[in-house]
Amino acid sequence: MVQQKNLVDEVSGWLRLYDDGSVDRTWTGPPEIKFMVEPVPPHHEFINGVAVRDTITNNNLRVRLYLPEKVSNEEKLPIFLHFHGGGFCISEPDWFMYYQFYSQLARLARVIVVSSFLRHAPENRLPAAIDDGFSALLWLQCVAGRETEEPWLEKHGDFCRVFLIGDSSGANIVHEVAARAGKSKLNLIKVAGGIPIHPGFMRSTRSRSELEKPQSPFLTLNMVDKFMTLALPLGSTKDHPITCPMGDGAPPLRGLKLPPFLLCLAEMDLIFDTEMEYYEAMRKAKKDVELFVNKGVTHSFYLNKIAVDMDPTTGAQTDALIARIKQFIEQH
């Protein structure tokens, strides 16, 4: 007799947790959105100016690489180490939403993107995803030292210009991996900058923006609360250092060795106020941090392909975001 499992909790459309510990991440939201959460196969031929391949690192981490077209033999490109979002609980870097943006970013900014497949909570609570992100950085060090092979990076990658970039919860990982890198001996690569986009920084008490700003397809209060409950170490609140690096419980920002940061925010983001609190804390700690705010758009707007194509404001703000990222890497 097959024992029936019972639903314990769910995050609408995204995730269902059962009493046997299993997790179902099948998309059950509006069907017109489903294409954005479906995987895009790798293609070694250039399509729309970019080739894509998946590989396994020497520390057993799966990564996806994006290489722009028409790279000369002598040309060395900056390397973007990318950490996907999803509240530490959902999403994969091969989803169409990431493919459509990061293939475009690789082509327009002339960078090689290395996107890490990160372990999910609640099966693997934090700091598992951060450990994976740092493992990906260590793999780049191994490739730079010819301890392991990766032909695109060996031929075209500039290991002195590695930039950490992440969306939403992946932006939290940018901060954490940058802090770890600052304490590590990485003599074959240089972390030249960090680009946290719409980081999941928050507190256990609601901010004004959480109470007043609109919820969006990619961030609701339900998602904020439930994903953090599932992802943070047991017994932790949203005041944990991973979600509140500007809080009293986090290592003092002044003591961290961090590269230059470009903090990218969306004006209508639910968690805009606590993201700005992080920016002000970084400035107070005398960190090199630039701020770029997209006007009139919500959390992770640039990943919403429907809005990018159909709404002129979203399309224009996506172009502006890519242009500002390109400017940042050209300056570093």
Residues annotated as catalytic (active site), given as ranges: 168, 269, 299
Q: Is the distance from CB of 196 to CB of 279 less than 8 angstroms?
A: no
Give the separation between CA 101 and CA 105, rounded to whole angstroms.
6
Crossing angle for the helix pair 96-109 and 312-331, to the nearest 10 degrees: 50
Residue 232: both structure tokens together: 């943070």
Q: Mapping DSSP to helix (H, G, I), strand (E, B) and coil, where does residue 103 land?
A: helix
Beta-strand relationship, 62-68 and 77-83: unpaired
How many residues does this entry show for the chain? 332
Who contacts 54 (Cβ-Cβ below 8 Å, separation ≥6)?
42, 62, 63, 64, 65, 94
Give the separation between CA 314 and CA 308, rounded to whole angstroms.
5
Residue tagged 């981490």 (tokens): 61
Residue 91: both structure tokens together: 């999403």
